[in-house]
Structure 1
């Protein structure tokens, strides 16, 4: 395995010479931000502009970003950048978001800033689910079908290794190795983005 694949996507994206990894990181996060901005009455063209602004900040500041091994450090940093850019948009347009339900969008934005709020907890869960789903799609092609199926059945279907081995006609040791190899690859890719896998 070459050295580039042993470093997380986040780590590779900090290298200005690795534009492919930066592009992957941007492609990973743009849909997530797009989905969140829709909740804040942001028009599609404005959302595209905001996402470009957030990505520009990330590109500029990511090499100096200190993950500090705190749970959720990157996703919290990204969330705060997004909140600041959204607030700047509203200020520049002298726009006061309309109330929706029992709290105004501005109140929800304040809650999104608070690391301990329910809105932030929802962001964290949505972030992790989105990132893991996208990373799984990205690494899927690195494995043979049988290896992936053995991993999937154990991790997502909750099947025991001996049952998977019998169904896939694999030695049980190969079933354990399949799970380990895929998990290891996912953990490596997700390091710094998602805090724990499996």
Structure 2
């Protein structure tokens, strides 16, 4: 990840697992706040029709909620997003198999084909999922810092770190010195690392 170890890979999943044992409603809220928007946005960007995307998203969230207790964290930072991709692909195949496609000529997206690409870690679709996964979670981390840093500094961080824009260009565009931008970036990165165990600033 371009932002380095600013968040803990294991924290959020383990936290949700603990919550599920004692407070499933809270666990569901924590998970959906983190992943609901992300899954839906990715499905729509992959060409899945809105109605199908809503159905698949709900199936994915329900499956993860019921099976997360059995998820085994190997310590690899790609472990959970890979598992989430697999769950999503399986739900897409299930929806595709349930369709009578002979009478559904208006169906645009071949969900089975998209699912195959999603499970293939070498595909562009899979890479796009991973990039969006990382960016969305770091964006949530930054949102949690909104009361500690100015909007300009956070915007600069997003553009340089997430969008990989040149520092000099961003600094000029936002009316910052290059040195000031680098100081702000360092402080925000340090805050992200310090808050890695916070509920809204740790990824699974």
TM-score range, shorter chain: 0.5 to 0.7
Unaligned residue ranges in structure 2 (runs of 5+): 1-7, 161-166, 172-177
Unaligned residue ranges in structure 1 (runs of 5+): 1-5, 166-171, 194-198
Name the CA distance, whole Å, in 2 between partners of 1:153 and 1:66. Answer: 37
In structure 2, the CA distance between the partners of 1:8 and 1:94, relative to structure 1 (3 Å rule), is same
Counterpart contact for 2:142–2:154, Cα < 8 Å: no
Name the CA distance, whole Å, in 1 between partners of 2:108 and 2:49. Answer: 16
Of residues 172, 177, 183, the one that matches 2:193 is: 183
TM-score normalised according to structure 2 size = 0.65
Shift of 1:115: 1.9
Per the alignment, residue 10 of structure 1 pairs with: 13
1:27-176 pair list within 5 angstroms: 27-39=33-45, 42-95=48-101, 106-137=112-143, 139-141=144-146, 144-145=148-149, 156=160, 163-164=179-180
Counterpart contact for 1:34–1:51, Cα < 8 Å: yes
Name the CA distance, whole Å, in 2 between partners of 1:108 and 1:154. Answer: 33
Name the CA distance, whole Å, in 1 between partners of 2:133 and 2:189. Answer: 24
* Root mean square deviation of aligned Cα: 3.8
Q: Choose between structure 1 and 2 for higher RCO, CA contacts under 8 A separated by at least 6 residues.
A: 2
1:140-168 per-position Cα deviation (integer Å, ceiling 9, x unaligned): 24x5336x877876784588xx9439xxx
Matched residue of 1:46: which SS?
A: helix
**Pairs aligned (count):** 175
Per the alignment, residue 3 of structure 2 pairs with: none
1:169-189 per-position Cα deviation (integer Å, ceiling 9, x unaligned): xxx9xx966642333214765
